[in-house]
Amino acid sequence: MIQFAQPIFLWALVGLAIPIGIHLLSRKEGMVVKMGSLRHLRETSTKQFKGIKLNELLLLALRCLLIILFVGMLAGFHWKDTKAKRWVLVERGLENQRQVKVITDSLIGDGYEWRWLQSGFPLREQTSIEEPNYWKILSELENENLACAIVFSKSNVKNFNGFRAAMPPEVTWIGIPAEPNQFILQAVEKENEFLVRQGYSSSDKTLFETQQVSSLPDSIEAIPMRKITISIVHDDAHLDDLQIIQASLNAIQETIPVEFSVTKSAAVQTQASADWIFWLSDSDIPKFDSVKSLALKPQPSNQLISQENFTQWIINKRLTIDVARKENLTLQLASLLLADPALTNKLELFDNRMLPDSAILSGTGDASTLKAGLLPQAPNQYLILFFLLILITERIIAYARKQ
């Protein structure tokens, strides 16, 4: 079935009048007949153009065909495969947004089938709910016989899991930013007051702020202040590293409700009671069975901190102010020392950060360009080749016939 993505350009077909008019006004050179005298000729009243016929019908047909092909490319001429499917895929939570609803209603009216953006692509009537894995979904779309798929997604950073998948050419990915939200991540009890960890998340950032309050609403339950004991083993050659580590720990305590109990020595003295051992020495670090350790061991690496095994991490560079600032030492230490799976899962529920469409892969679109019955359609490559072939043929014939 023939379809046009942008039929408004079909008005350009009125340009066919140009070559037809030129050919109608062209005279064909007549045969020269030599005559001895004009005495026996009479003047006729026949109008000048009465006997003119179409000149160079082949060139006229080629030029008209060129105009038709060019207009067809502008109008998005393409064949519709009646067996191929056209889907509109919507992530749960976006179906009632006005921007999405207007476009999806138009697409459904144009013959698109509604599907949920999740593995298996269930129909709208099905109620199964699961968190989408975008890379996995793109891989599954490649196995579907799709003529076109319009995807409306939250594009949450947390849902791009696994290996990066290729964007199928028939897929148009549209990211819809979620509304910014404020939430309370946790409340920590400290003596007779409470430290409330309040978060703010939007499509481009997630921020946290700790506030000190005297009371809490009944709906919020406070937890005891988390205490972490750290034993730092150092020697005189690593005093600068020690100061930078201490400064990072102090910065963490000022912004996050946690209490560090730090002891410093030239030998391991409290390994039985410490949660962490920081090893700032050139001597080899001993093995600890039940205590986590972080040892300074300069070595070539793209990471500042890397994990050696289940309980041991390595600082791969000598610490300076520039290194600590450039490599975000404070943030990396906070992520390492304060790792809490339950808190991380809770944060993911409120995290609205999204990956921009331009960063996902090619083949993305903009919701503002999608209107009822107007979808992006690339010119057919065979139509372009045919147009070039006809153009070359027309130029050759025109040159040979001096037309």
**Per-residue model confidence (pLDDT) at position 320:** 93
> Hey, which residues does 232 pair with through a beta bridge?
264, 278
Cα separation of 19 and 56, whole Å? 11
- E strands within 176-332? 181-190, 193-201, 206-213, 223-224, 226-234, 258-265, 276-280, 292-296, 305-307, 312-315
C-alpha pair distances (Å), 346 with each of 74, 95, 183, 328, 343: 51, 24, 11, 24, 5
Pairing outcome for strands 2-4 and 77-79: antiparallel
pLDDT of residue 15: 84
d(C-alpha 4, C-alpha 64), whole Å:
19
- Sequence-ordered list of residues with C-beta below 8 angstroms from that of 167, at least 6 positions apart, any chain: 138, 173, 360, 361, 362, 363, 364
pLDDT of residue 373: 39
Torsion of CA 266, 270, 276, 279, to 10 degrees: 20
How many Cα atoms within 13 Å fall on the side-chain side of residue 369?
12
For residue 376, count other CB atoms closer than 10 A to its CB.
Answer: 15
pLDDT (tens place) for every residue of the chain, 403 residues total:
566 667 788 888 888 888 888 777 765 555 666 666 656 556 555 544 444 444 578 888 888 898 898 888 888 776 655 566 889 999 988 988 888 999 999 999 888 999 999 988 998 888 777 888 999 999 898 888 888 899 999 999 888 888 888 888 888 999 998 889 899 888 988 878 888 889 999 988 999 888 888 888 888 888 888 899 999 999 989 999 999 999 999 999 888 888 999 998 876 554 557 899 999 998 888 877 778 999 999 999 889 999 988 889 999 999 999 999 999 999 999 999 988 888 888 888 888 899 887 777 644 444 444 433 334 445 567 788 888 998 898 888 888 877 7
User: What does the block give as tokens for 33?
Assistant: 């007949």
> What is the amino acid identity at position 121?
F
pLDDT computed for residue 50 by the predictor: 44
b/e code 171-198 from CB counts within 10 Å (16+ = b): bbbbbbebeeeeeeebbbeeeeebbbbe
Q: Is the pTM of this model over 0.85?
A: no
Contact 200, 179 (CB under 8 A): no
Please list the alpha-helical segments (H only) found in 75-193: 98-109, 134-141
pLDDT at position 178 is 84
- Using alpha carbons, select from 381, 388, 396 the residue that is nearest to residue 77: 381
